[in-house]
């Protein structure tokens, strides 16, 4: 990952933290929740997309994991998601998928 991609991911994470913090309230922040913060900028807070980008809230964890891995591994074409998914391990993808599935 080059410095521009790192900067972009950092900025998305900060924005995601800001957007998602309103839904956390007094609950415990999990690693899956923190990883999922980067998704909020495009997919909406808690994955409830307000626009044309697909909502990922409530989708089955297995579907989300497979889709993210396919983006990451270049098996599914994308404009942006392949670049985002490349930064995640299998374990991190599972944590993100589990967060949005709940």
DSSP state, 45? G
pLDDT (average), residues 89-98? 97
The 8 Å CB, 24+ separation contacts for 33-41 are: 33/99, 35/88, 35/92, 35/95, 35/96, 35/99, 36/95, 36/96, 36/99, 36/100, 37/13, 38/9, 38/12, 38/13, 38/84, 39/96, 39/100, 40/15, 40/16, 41/12, 41/15, 41/16
Q: What is the pLDDT of residues 13-63, one digit of tens each?
A: 555 555 555 455 557 899 999 999 999 999 998 899 988 999 999 999 999
Q: Where are the alpha helices (DSSP H) in the chain?
A: 3-24, 31-43, 61-72, 81-85, 90-101
> Which pLDDT belongs to residue 8?
57
Q: How is the chain split into domains, by residue range?
A: 3-101
At the top level of CATH, the class of 3-101 is mainly alpha
Percentage above 90 pLDDT, the chain: 65
């Amino acid at each position: 990952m080059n410095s521009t991609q790192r900067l972009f991911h950092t900025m998305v994470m900060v924005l995601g933290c800001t957007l998602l913090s309103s839904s956390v309230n007094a609950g415990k922040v999990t690693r899956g929740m923190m990883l999922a913060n980067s998704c909020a900028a495009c997919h909406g807070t808690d994955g409830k997309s307000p626009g044309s980008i697909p909502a990922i809230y409530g989708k089955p964890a297995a579907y989300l994991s497979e889709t993210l891995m396919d983006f990451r591994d270049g098996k599914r074409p994308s404009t942006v998601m392949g670049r985002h998914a490349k930064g995640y391990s299998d374990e991190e993808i599972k944590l993100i998928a589990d967060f949005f599935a709940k």
